[in-house]
Amino acid sequence: MGDKTLKFLAPLIAVLGFLGYLTFFTVTEVQQAIVLQFGDPKRIIQKAGLNFKIPVIQNVVFLDTRILNLDAPPEEVIASDQKRLIVDAFARFKIKDPLQFYISVGNERVARSRLSTIVNARIRGVLGKEELQTLVSKDRARLMDQITTDVNTEASKLGIEIIDVRIKRADLPQANSEAIYRRMQTERQREAKEFRAEGAEIAQTVKSTADKEVTIILAEANKKAQILKGEGDGQRNKIFANAFGKDPSFFSFYRSMQSYEKSLVGKDTSLILSPDSDFFKYFGKSGARNAPRPAAPKKQ
């Protein structure tokens, strides 16, 4: 009898367990649920815990309550100054109204597709009214706030709240980038040539100034040298004059000896002079006789 009872209870327990599995469900802390009956929403559950539904007739759709990320595809934007720009943006959003979200888009995959379209459209609309340089200035934060507000207005119709919209990267198209790089390179080369020209001009000015100062210094030095030389010659002549005045005969003799020393140099020196020339007045006896006698020293 026990075995028959066990055989009867086992299938019953299995059926009851299966019915319990189809009836009860759990909503976690990061989820919210919509109970559908033949596709028609019946209940919205936003609190975590154990809940139930009618088996077979009802089913449950779970939605995330956390902040979700949306990585929008890169979009080409034409600024007001006709500059092209490739903008890569991302957004953060959360499902605020699960019923409206389910009715509007159904699931996250469709929601992300719709949000990408909205985000790119708002980026084109806002940035298309601004110049390219505004994106790299302090006004960029203001533009992003405006884009966030505009996207949030559209996303609220889908039961979604936009937390933030930001631009990850804003690049010029490849062709524009190469053209700008070439223009920047040309500009830098022009500036380098200007700097080199200015440097050469300054160097030439410094060199000319230095040459001028050298010329002036040399002229002053030559002038002082000539003055000093003239003063020295004057002193020398004055000394010679004083010496000649004290003893003319000795001075004449001394000057003649200097002349002999300078003129009679070398073995092949030849002089053709008259015998009674003054040059020979100190040669031999004749010269000694004709030479003036030194003056006798004066008695004290």
Looking at the structure, do residues 106 and 36 belong to the same domain, yes or no? no
Instruction: List, run by run, the mean pLDDT of 10-residue segments along the chain (300 residues).
Output: 62 68 86 90 90 87 92 83 82 93 91 92 85 72 88 93 87 63 82 90 90 91 90 82 72 73 67 66 52 46
Closest CA to 34 of 17, 51, 56: 51
| One domain for residues 76 and 38 | no
Rounded CA separation 274/257 (Å): 19
Looking at residue 290, its pLDDT comes to 47
293 located within any domain:
no
CA angle at 64 for the pair 63 and 69, rounded to the nearest 5°: 130
Q: E strands, the chain, where?
A: 24-27, 31-37, 40-45, 49-52, 58-64, 68-71, 75-78, 84-95, 160-171
Instruction: State the pLDDT at residue 126.
Output: 87
Q: What's the pTM?
A: 0.52
What CATH number does the domain containing 115 carry?
Answer: 3.30.479.30
* Domain tally, the chain: 2
pLDDT of 70 reads 92
What was the pLDDT predicted at 286? Answer: 45
144 and 60 in a single domain? The answer is: no
Residue 120 lies in a domain: yes
Q: Which domain holds residue 31?
A: 20-64
Strands (E), 65-224: 68-71, 75-78, 84-95, 160-171
Q: Name the domain boundary from 32, 64, 96.
A: 64
